[in-house]
Amino acid sequence: MATVRFNTSLDEHVLQYLDDEANRIGVSRGGMISFMIEQYKTQKDSMAMVNNMQAIIEQMKKEE
């Protein structure tokens, strides 16, 4: 997968939080942003799977 550079602006308190967390776990600012986005994506994908499971369970109940 290709790495792409981008620039963005953040509120000072958000940037401070980002830097504090990056320092806490020992990664770069960019590494922390990547980690946070991956975690967000994983959580979103997991919730979509849970919602799909609920629909499947409801369909199975109707078929009983």
Angstrom distance (rounded) from CA 5 to CA 30: 10
Where are the domains positioned within the chain? 12-63
Over the chain (64 residues), what is each successive 10-residue block's mean pLDDT?
Answer: 89 98 97 96 92 86 85
User: What is the per-residue pLDDT for 8?
Assistant: 93
User: What is the per-residue pLDDT for 21?
Assistant: 97
* pTM metric for this prediction: 0.72
Pair 18, 10: CB distance under 8 Å:
yes
What Rg, from alpha-carbon coordinates, does the chain have?
19
